[in-house]
Structure 1
Amino acid sequence: MSLVWIVLGLLLLVVGGEFLVRSSVSLSFKFNISKLVIGMTVVSFATSAPELLVSLQAALDGSPDIALGNVIGSNIANIGLVLGITAIISPLSISEDFYKLNWPMMMLLSIALYFILQSGLIINFIEGLLLFVSIVVFLYILIKQSKKKDIMDMDIEEVDDALQKTSNFKIMVWLLIGGSALYFGSEWLVLGAKELAMSFGVSERVISVTMVAIGTSVPELAASVIAAVKQEKAISLGNLIGSNIFNIASVLGLTAMIHPIALDSQKLLTNDIFWMIGFAAILIPFMLLPKKFEIGRLKGVFIFGAYLVFIYLTFTGE
């Protein structure tokens, strides 16, 4: 039954996330917000909603390891699983923004998360607020930089122009569907994760950094694989890095502001977070050697192989 709860929870999170993105973008057009700002803020926040609801539900339910493991595991999966498989199918080119702004921000937040957890074994309200403020500052810098460039160069194709004509009634219905699906999806996913951990005799941390994290990364994986197979522009490295930044700064930040996130399993601090930092750090040497500004198939195989090693060691090291 635990697997049924997990599958149903993930399906509802995918559906809820999609409806929330549509309604949020439509609502933003009503307030005459530019397409550039919608793409970089509204869409980014809306697509982080499933992870936010799962982490918040877990923290409120007294399962902080699921709240933390969901974010740490998702960040590992975004690079190891999604980026690895996508690069195997079709090599990824790296833009200048990646190493000038996105990557340094991801590394800064990853290391900051380690020291926050190490200092008090908890993410409190003040630390959550600081994390959330960092994403606001990051987005401000990103939008300011983007406005200086040619609007045609901006990666905002995820904003559907057709949503400008959406009626108010339809927006309300989408918001209702999205909100309900996210609420029940997060509840069922956390419930299923707890039950599965008990039936397998492993900790909630193991299930959260592996199965829950993979589940919440499935939409990104599906989108990037389909694009790569069709030889279209696959999901960009910037989008994946942006997702990792949002997971730490907005998901953990907002969750900690509503309910403090305590660290239960020491392995999240002594093992998993180092895997997350390691996957992030390796992107720079991979970007420079041997072929500059490209992550090709061989690098993709290495990254994906490292992810499989992480999954294996997580289960066997319990």
Structure 2
Amino acid sequence: MSIVWIILGLILLVIGGEFLVRSSVALSFKLKISKMVIGMTVVSFATSAPELLVSLNAALTGSPAIALNNVIGSNIANIGLVLGITALVGTIAVDRSFYRLNWPVMMLFSIVLYYFLYNDNQLVPFEGLVLFSFLVAFLIVLIKAAKKEVIPEEVDESLAVVSNFKIALWLLIGAAALYFGSEWLVAGAKDLAQTLGVSDAVIAATVIAIGTSVPELAASVIAAAKKEKALSLGNLIGSNIFNIGSVLGLTSMIKTIPVTEASILSRDIFWMLAFSALLIPLILIPAKHRISRYKGFLLVTAYAIFIILAFKV
């Protein structure tokens, strides 16, 4: 039965996330916010809502390991599974902004998160505020850089003419779906962990992480199939930054997140750091500035090893 709750929870989170994105974008158009800013801020925050609700629900119901490893596992899955499979669909070109801004910021967030957790085995409200403030600063830099480069805009313009009633209805549906989806997913994850005799942290880093990465996988594969491959890499790196800055940042601002599972600091977070760091040598070895199919295969293989070791330990 726990599998059923997990599946239903994930379905509701996907539905809720989609309705929240659409309503947020439509509302932003009503408020006369520029299309570029909507794409870089509103959409990014809205797509992080499922992870935020799951982490917040887990932290408030006494499952901090799920709150932490939901993000850590999702960041690992975004690079190992999602980026790996996307590269298998077709070679991904890497632009200069990856080296200059996106990758360094992702590594900075990952290292700061490790330091905060290692320092006192918890993420306190002040540290959450620091992470969230870093995210806001990153967005400001990103928007300024984007204005200079005039990047393509990906926001659906048809949402500019949506009625106020529809926006309110979408917000209501999105909020309800996210609430019940997070409730069912966390409850199902706890039951599954007990049934399999593994920790909450293992289930969060594997089953929940893969489930919450499905939307990113779908978006990245579609982008790669449409030859918009630079977009797919940027989305994944941005998602990892938002997961730490907004999901863990906001959750820990509301409630301190203690490290209750030793494996989080002894194993899982090092996998996250390793996958993040691996991107640079992977991109710089021949052929340079590209993530080819064989590199994608290496990423997927490394992710499979992570999953196997997670359940064996």
TM-score range, shorter chain: over 0.9
The AA in structure 1 aligned to 2:242 is F
Q: Distance in 2 between matches of 1:99 and 1:252?
A: 25
2:233 matched residue in structure 1? 237
- Is 1:294 matched up with 2:290? yes
1:292 aligned counterpart, secondary structure = coil
Matches within 5 A, 1:145-160: 145-150=145-150, 153-154=151-152, 156-157=153-154, 159-160=155-156
1:143 matched residue in structure 2? 143
Partner deviation per Cα, 1:195-254 (whole Å, 9 max, x = no partner): 0000111110110000000000011112222443x4432452111000000000110000
Give the TM-score normalised by the residue count of structure 2. 0.98
The AA in structure 2 aligned to 1:211 is V
2:158 matched residue in structure 1? 162
Partner deviation per Cα, 1:17-51 (whole Å, 9 max, x = no partner): 00000000000000100000000000000000000
**Which portions of structure 1, spanning 4 or more consecutive aligned residues, are displaced by more than 6 angstroms?**
none
Matches within 5 A, 1:78-97: 78-97=78-97
Q: Distance in 1 between matches of 2:241 and 2:15?
A: 23
Aligned counterpart for 1:261 among listed residues 257, 260, 263: 257
Say what the alpha-carbon RMSD is for the aligned residues: 0.9
Partner deviation per Cα, 1:137-178 (whole Å, 9 max, x = no partner): 00000001111123xx33x31x10000000000000000000
Q: Distance in 1 between matches of 2:35 and 2:223?
A: 22
Which stretches in structure 1 are left out of the alignment for 5+ residues?
none
Matches within 5 A, 1:1-318: 1-150=1-150, 153-154=151-152, 156-157=153-154, 159-228=155-224, 230-234=225-229, 235-317=231-313
Shift of 1:89: 1.3
Which stretches in structure 2 are left out of the alignment for 5+ residues?
none
Is 85-94 or 219-228 further displaced after alignment? 219-228
1:33 aligned counterpart, secondary structure = coil
The AA in structure 1 aligned to 2:80 is G
Give the TM-score normalised by the residue count of structure 1. 0.97
2:249 aligned counterpart, secondary structure = helix
